[in-house]
Structure 1
Amino acid sequence: MPDDSNLVLKPLPLQAESPAIVLASRSSARRSLLESAGVRADYRSADVDEHAIRDDARARGMAPGQTALELARAKARAVSVDRGAIVIGADQMLSCEGAWFDKPESMDRARQQLRMLRGRPHVLHTAVVMLRDGVEVWRHVACPVLHMRVFSDSFLERYLAIEGDAILSCVGCYRLEGMGIHLFSRVEGEHSAIMGLPLLAVLQALRAQHIILQ
């Protein structure tokens, strides 16, 4: 009889062979979330003018969650995909006591933003839009609340030195999966939504589209 002791059985996938899933983002955090759930996807950068979209949204009096949806929708529409593919666009807006915060353009700006957020709760408006054949079939906004503790200036300087330019790509100047967790006393909401992709809601939407098993 053949020796099966060294055979490695591959787990059965939960995802259908088609259609393809495309995430309109190169975010390593979003990619990691999908991969950890066993979701196969292509990852493509979306070339959109985020500043122009935000400025237009402000001029129209849109709320942060609506603005995040506009950004997610624009990113989903910006990538080129084959017919039938599912395209997921995602983006985040941060608001604190009525003020909007963008990704910092420099370490000095990151320092200013963290001082402004220190000791206050803020909201991450995490939006996701799903397109199929260019038609929007689903959208969702999660709003986790993060309570930033009152940290010292010496801690802030040490934190900035450790994290470096990596935080310039983060709207809140932190990576919760890393050293950024030290900034907080409490967080409310789904961890994956804080990371940029509300995974429970996305998985349910994929089930509704018959992409993964019910």
Structure 2
Amino acid sequence: MPQPLILASTSEIRAKMLSNAGVPHTTSGARIDEEMVKEALLAEQASPRDIADTLAEMKARKISDKTPGAIVLGCDQVLDHRGVLLSKPVDSHDALTQLQALRNDRHTLLSAAVICEDGKPVWRHVGVVRLRMHDVSDAYLQDYVARNWDSIRHAVGAYKLEEEGVRLFSRIDGDYFTVLGLPLLELLSYLALRGDLPR
């Protein structure tokens, strides 16, 4: 019998992706001091990939330790711009500053997913997407932030590709679901392989 999946996140878009794909699940937010963990890992010269993977595992483990027998999915996404990791903007001014730094340049999104069972990781994947932003004007970026602040305040890089943010980009190399924060195709393949999803 398929085991219940718990998404260790309060991310609406990740929950929606799972629901749209027909994956039964519940959600349970895992409280982790992400900025403190990032700072510690950066001090150890960890790669952006390892930082995303570590944070995803920490979230999955935290919920998995409390829910024996369940499979718990932890996720995290980091944005790497020329070796600098951008976090969720602290305010609208920070959002504008991030977008100004990203415009007319390339950056990389890394979306990590880790599944834990009984407190131990059993599967992991880090999806990588490379994006290039148009050389958009300050005026457009200011208006964009003002119009979309309530939505983009929770997004690394201060944009959402599934919304008006798509207009900012000239090129995207990689998987759309990974941009949204979950390497969904790889996850679905794993769940089907273990018999938790019919195929």
Paired amino acid for 2:27: Y
The within-5 A match list for 1:57-72 is 57-72=41-56
4+ aligned runs moved over 2 Å, structure 1: 80-83
Q: CA deviation at 1:83?
A: 2.3
Which of 1 and 2 has greater Rg?
A: 1
Structure 1 residue runs without a partner (length 5+): 1-15
Paired amino acid for 1:150: D
The within-5 A match list for 1:1-214 is 18-79=2-63, 81-214=66-199
Give the SS at the match of 2:158. coil
Structure 2 residue runs without a partner (length 5+): none
Q: Give the percent of matched residue pairs that are identical in Structure 1 and Structure 2.
A: 38
Q: CA deviation at 1:51?
A: 0.9
Offset from partner CA, 1:145-182 (integer Å, 9 cap, x none): 11111001111111111102321110110111111111
Offset from partner CA, 1:36-56 (integer Å, 9 cap, x none): 110010011111110111011
CA RMSD, 1 decimal: 1.2
TM-score, scaled to structure 2: 0.96
Q: CA deviation at 1:135?
A: 1.5
Paired amino acid for 1:40: P
Contact kept? 1:107, 1:165, Cα under 8 Å: no
Q: What is the match of residue 6 of structure 1?
A: none
Q: CA deviation at 1:33?
A: 0.6
- Count of paired positions: 198
Contact kept? 2:61, 2:120, Cα under 8 Å: no
Separation (CA, whole Å) in 1 of partners of 2:30 and 2:182 = 16
